Amino acid sequence: MRYIPITCEQREAMLRAVGVSDVSSLFSDVPDEVMFDGELAIPSPMGEMELASHLRELADSNSPTGRLVSFAGAGCYDHYIPSIVDHVIRKPEFFTAYTPYQPEVSQGTLQAIYEFQSMICELTGMEVANASMYDGATALVEAAFMAARVTKRSKIVVSEAVHPEWIETLDTYAAAGTVEVVRVQFESGVTRTEGLAGLREAVKDAAAVLIASPNYFGSLEDLNLIGELTHEAGGLLVVATNPMLLGVMEPPAGAGADIVVGEGQPLGNSMSLGGPAFGFFACRQKNIRQMPGRLVGRTVDVDGNDAFVLTFSTREQHIRRERATSNICSNQALCALSAAVYMSAVGRHGLADTARACVSKAHYLRERLIATGRFTSPWDVPFGYEFALSYQGDVAEMQRRMLDRGYLAGVDLSKAMTPLDSGVLLAVTERRTRAEMDSFVREVESL
Amino acid sequence: MNDRMNRISGVRPKRGPRGLILEVGSDDARCVVPPELDVPDVDLDEVLGGAARSVLPHLPQVTEVEVARHYAHLASMNFGVDSGMYPLGSCTMKYNPRINEDAARLEGFAALHPAQPVGAIQGALELMVTLADVLGEISGLPSVTLQPAAGAHGELTALLCFRAFHTANGGPRSRVIIPDTAHGTNPATVSMCGYEVTTVPSDDRGRVDLVALREALDTDVAALMLTNPNTVGLFDDQILEITAAVHEVGALAYCDGANLNAIMGVSRPGDMGFDALHINLHKTFSTPHGGGGPGAGPVCVTPSLGAFLPGPIPVKYDDGTYGLSTPECSIGRVRSSYGNFGVLVRAYTYVRALGGAGIKEAAEQAVLSANYLKERLKHTYELPFDRHCMHEFVLSGRRQKKEHGVRALDIAKRLLDYGFHPPTVYFPLIVEEALMIEPTETEPLADLDRFADVMIAIAEEASTDPDTVKGAPYSTPVRRVDEARAVKRPDLRWSVGE
């Protein structure tokens, strides 16, 4: 059988050594009533060659973005991944290893995570970063829970301009009754701060205010103002952000963020239908004991040589059990490694140049689309490389017809948490060429 | 020896960590650069509303060869399943088939955007529906969500479904019962779901103490969380009485699927009376651990609990097409998108390579290999539970500790010198000096034998030369590390100027 290296003869010898005549005798503790004596209704096995063609066929029945010109974003972006990234994470010493609980034979993973933590700190401006969370959504939820522990409060204020799937995830976790979620509305593309009195009331007694910048609509928020209000009220400011944009944008730490989280996919991870990538999580050192997730530290071994090790483990479930800061065990280590290799390969200048290209191209496309007269801007606020427009017509119909022409025409905003009528969210990465954008504009104009 | 290696002054031996990638390179080094900008350049400070970054983040600035060499060196300090036997109990470190890796990287899977319309992802949906059906079939629990990203995430998902179920039937209840042999994720999950933990003891065979369980059960209990086979590697033969007692008070029975590898195709958790099970695809279904993740923790439940699962769930329609549907009383999402899809592709590939018979055969061989090793080692080390084990077994290093002062940890570290990854130590908590060994079905007999020989040799060494064992390892990239210093003098990141 595939992947079992024991021959029939060896199997017989092993049975004899164990003192049974048949492998079924080893299952004598399983009561007869729960023995499964049927055959599993599972498709019959395939040899590797037929399996390879079956998989290719299945994959080919999708329309990957490689065959489309994509302007879809909303948390998952079509960035270029340098060749070296996959070559590194394909090394079996990395991908076939377990969690680095035995530091003596895990220095590779441990050092890579330490470097990853350092790079995330550099990007976000924060003091410590953990080894990764499942995704941006769960990183945001963990930040809310951590803020509740730090402040010993239970009210979580979240802007409705945060990604709707992330808010939904927060609501799911909050249904357990450990925190109470209060939403604040947004207006003109950003979280509403006009009626300051109202916002001040909302953040009163809050453990945390959760805000995204860029937010779901691509807009940049006034973090300083929201941070001030939050801190006045004794809460923590949690900022979700896009790590690619941090190549050219001031890190949230400067605006007083206490916890910075986000979806790490833009850094060297394939879109893969939205997973696996990773959530990043960074905070201030003083709150480290309330942090969720794994942390790697640098220390020395008995010979005094530099060595890396998992540390502050008393926060974690395998030690602290029901009093742990989170139940997370497996994280997204290999995706974090992809990000570290990506950041090493592009470097600070490459990341800045890539982010600048994204921003420039997004601003170019937006202007061109508005110039067609088919799109209007619902608001005028700063944005990075993603923006919302109102379409003079049926968005779903436009997207369908553009898909037939080979374009993924953004994300329909009529399904957003606060729907934007006839709204469409468009993202432009460095991969889109001027020629692609110009043809997109022509095609959409011709509908 | 070190003197000789260090004879050239300033040249350090290759062993152990070298410089951080953040410390090498130079500002004008380039590796991958984006193409020339083909649209007008923007004034960043203007378009970002005054928020343009004034100082670039201090990321490495290196060339491609430096990236390649750096990570090649890091890889050389790691031990993976390809490096040698990895008998880490409860972790199912089986071989990771290479075709799984190729499958996940096919452009038709890897380059899919989650917002693509269902018509453009029919193959992906078909794959997910088939995988969910297979998992439902193996577990005997037909309603499945593939969304959870890991085992603990699956536990949380199931417990939130339980909570919603109880709430819909009168109230959420307040307690969850966990045996003292449970994985740490179980109690941690219970707390996150707003429940109190009640721990019940195990009996002298490592089974749930039925009397204690019955005493703990009342209508405040929301659920029992149980691993079966349990964490000492034994199948709890009272399982039907246990789940019946749980159901009697209206509570639900949860199965931690960490040990599913022992029973696939042999016995189904649904038939044992469990209402829900999470499956670690990165254990049982051969997807790689990746140095800590990503995994995937699908949850299988009874049809009546299916209405509470997170959505959206991939479904097949009568006309043969695929779509997405959110269950009627769904607890809502537990993450963004559809799950760790790339991991699901790998698990699907594995399932299609094995088929139903192959899956059962994998379980049987895993159990046989564990029993074989147990027989070879039980005279050298104490065996607290002397009966047929499932896919793993627990030895105790009590004798070595008492007679020679050599602890389970020392034995584990000495194994490293012989090219083996150690077993899980000090877990489960109910066995003193526990060594929990799980060989998996993918270990060649020669390696099983060599592992047994080395374990026996280390026991011998412990009696003749205990200090050598206590000082191990000697041949690894670093030796035992100072964990206390890591906490006392936290160094969790590099920064400029170091």
Lowest mean pLDDT among A126-140, A281-295, B21-35, B51-65: B21-35
Tokens at B120, concatenated: 């453009």
Tell me the shortest Cα–Cα distance from B402 to chain A, in angstroms. 24
Is any Cβ of chain A less than 8 angstroms from the Cβ of B338?
A: yes
Tell me the shortest Cα–Cα distance from B236 to chain A, in angstroms. 7
Residue of B125, B195, B492 to mutate, interface with A, max A Cβ within 10 Å: B492
Its CATH architecture, for the domain A67-81+348-445, is Alpha-Beta Complex (3.90)
Asked if the model's pLDDT at residue B93 lies above 50, the reply is yes
Q: Do B292 and A353 touch (CB under 8 A)?
A: no
Q: Contacts of residue B272 in chain A, CB cutoff 8 Å?
A: 34
* CA nearest to B48 within chain A: A382
Encode pLDDT of B416-429 as tens digits: 999 999 999 999 88
Mean pLDDT of the region A319-346: 95
Q: Report the distance separating Cα B147 and Cα A274, nearest Å.
A: 11
Is any Cβ of chain B less than 8 angstroms from the Cβ of A207?
A: no
Encode pLDDT of B191-205 as tens digits: 999 999 999 999 988
- Residue B245: its pLDDT value, please? 98
Tell me the shortest Cα–Cα distance from B408 to chain A, in angstroms. 14
Asked if the model's pLDDT at residue A127 lies above 60, the reply is yes
Q: Report the distance separating Cα B14 and Cα B2, nearest Å.
A: 11
Count of residues making up chain B: 498
CB-nearest to A34 from B78, B267, B357 is B267
Residue of A34, A130, A439 to mutate, interface with B, max B Cβ within 10 Å: A34
Q: Report the distance separating Cα A385 and Cα A70, nearest Å.
A: 13
Tell me the shortest Cα–Cα distance from B347 to chain A, in angstroms. 12
Is any Cβ of chain B less than 8 angstroms from the Cβ of A287?
A: no
CB-nearest to B335 from A52, A138, A248 is A138
Q: Which residues 16-45 of chain B have a CB within 8 Å of chain A?
A: 16-17, 20-22, 25, 27, 29-35, 37-42, 44
Q: Do A42 and B39 touch (CB under 8 A)?
A: no
Q: How many CB pairs under 8 A join A and B?
A: 718
Q: Do A298 and B491 touch (CB under 8 A)?
A: yes
* CA nearest to A224 within chain B: B51
User: How sure is the predictor about B9, in pLDDT bands with cuts at 50, 70 and 90?
Assistant: low
- Residue B16: its pLDDT value, please? 78
Half-sphere exposure of A265 (CA within 13 A, CB side): 27
Tell me the shortest Cα–Cα distance from B309 to chain A, in angstroms. 11
Tokens at A374, concatenated: 């088919």
Encode pLDDT of A200-226 as tens digits: 888 999 999 999 999 999 999 999 999
For the question of whether the overall pTM of this predicted structure is more than 0.90, the answer is yes
Q: Which residues 220-279 of chain B have a CB within 8 Å of chain A?
A: 234-237, 239-240, 263, 265-268, 271-272
Within A131-222, residue ranges assigned H as helices are 136-151, 164-174, 196-203
Alpha-carbon dihedral sign for residues B173, B174, B180, B183: positive
Please provide the average confidence, as pLDDT, over all residues in chain A. 95
Q: Do A129 and B493 touch (CB under 8 A)?
A: yes
Is A269 within 8 Å of A332 (Cβ atoms)?
Answer: no
Tokens at B320, concatenated: 């043969």
Q: Report the distance separating Cα B494 and Cα B2, nearest Å.
A: 28
Q: Do A62 and B112 touch (CB under 8 A)?
A: yes
Is any Cβ of chain A less than 8 angstroms from the Cβ of B205?
A: no
CB-nearest to B51 from A88, A220, A270 is A220
* CA nearest to A39 within chain B: B356
Residue-range domain boundaries for chain A: 67-81+348-445, 83-340
Q: Do B67 and A383 touch (CB under 8 A)?
A: no
Quote the crossing angle between the two packed helices B151-168 and B185-192, to the nearest 10°. 40
Is any Cβ of chain B less than 8 angstroms from the Cβ of A303?
A: yes
Is any Cβ of chain B less than 8 angstroms from the Cβ of A317?
A: yes
Is any Cβ of chain A less than 8 angstroms from the Cβ of B53?
A: yes
Q: Do B362 and A137 touch (CB under 8 A)?
A: no
Q: How far is the CA of A284 from the CAs of A90, A112, A234, B475, in angstroms?
A: 33, 21, 16, 38
- Residue A200: its pLDDT value, please? 86
Mean pLDDT of the region A113-136: 98
Tell me the shortest Cα–Cα distance from A234 to chain B, in angstroms. 24
Residue-range domain boundaries for chain B: 1-77, 99-353, 362-483
- Residue A239: its pLDDT value, please? 98
Encode pLDDT of B304-362 as tens digits: 999 999 999 999 999 999 999 999 999 999 999 999 999 999 999 999 999 999 999 99
Asked if the model's pLDDT at residue B7 lies above 80, the reply is no
Is any Cβ of chain B less than 8 angstroms from the Cβ of A346?
A: yes
Is any Cβ of chain A less than 8 angstroms from the Cβ of B214?
A: no
Please provide the average confidence, as pLDDT, over all residues in chain B. 95
Is any Cβ of chain B less than 8 angstroms from the Cβ of A351?
A: yes
User: How sure is the predictor about A66, in pLDDT bands with cuts at 50, 70 and 90?
Assistant: confident
Q: For the stretch A382-392, what's the b/e string if a residue is b when 16 or more beta carbons lie within 10 angstroms of its beta carbon?
A: bbbbbbbbbbe
CB-nearest to B122 from A62, A247, A311 is A62
Amino acid identity for residue A339 in this structure = A
Tokens at A229, concatenated: 């209000």
Q: Coil, strand or helix: which one is A227?
A: helix
Lowest mean pLDDT among A59-68, B278-287, B292-301: A59-68
CATH 3.10.20.340 for domain B362-483, yes or no, is no
Is B92 within 8 Å of B456 (Cβ atoms)?
Answer: no
Quote the crossing angle between the two packed helices B151-168 and A164-174, to the nearest 10°. 60
Its CATH architecture, for the domain B99-353, is 3-Layer(aba) Sandwich (3.40)
- Residue B13: its pLDDT value, please? 53
- Residue B86: its pLDDT value, please? 97
Is any Cβ of chain A less than 8 angstroms from the Cβ of B303?
A: no
CB-nearest to B150 from A299, A330, A437 is A330
Encode pLDDT of A128-154 as tens digits: 999 999 999 999 999 999 999 999 999
Which has the closest alpha carbon to B147: B166, B163, B162, B131?
B131
- Residue A371: its pLDDT value, please? 97
Mean pLDDT of the region A338-351: 97
CATH of A83-340, one of 3.40.50.2300, 3.20.20.70, 3.40.640.10, 3.40.50.12780: 3.40.640.10
Residue bearing the bigger pLDDT, B376 or B495: B376
Q: Report the distance separating Cα B238 and Cα B367, nearest Å.
A: 20
Q: Residue A73 pairs with which residues in a beta bridge?
A: none
- Residue B2: its pLDDT value, please? 47
Q: Contacts of residue A127 in chain B, CB cutoff 8 Å?
A: 493
CB-nearest to B478 from A84, A107, A270 is A107
Q: Do B56 and A349 touch (CB under 8 A)?
A: yes
Q: Report the distance separating Cα B256 and Cα B34, nearest Å.
A: 47
CB-nearest to A359 from B47, B60, B184 is B47
Q: What are phi and psi of B177, to 5 degrees?
A: -95, 135
Q: Contacts of residue B429 in chain A, CB cutoff 8 Å?
A: none
Encode pLDDT of B155-213 as tens digits: 999 999 999 999 999 999 999 999 998 899 999 999 999 999 999 999 988 899 999 99
DSSP B328-340: TT----SSSTTS-
Encode pLDDT of B106-140 as tens digits: 999 999 999 999 999 999 999 999 999 999 999 99
User: How sure is the predictor about B8, in pLDDT bands with cuts at 50, 70 and 90?
Assistant: low
Residue of B95, B475, B493 to mutate, interface with A, max A Cβ within 10 Å: B493
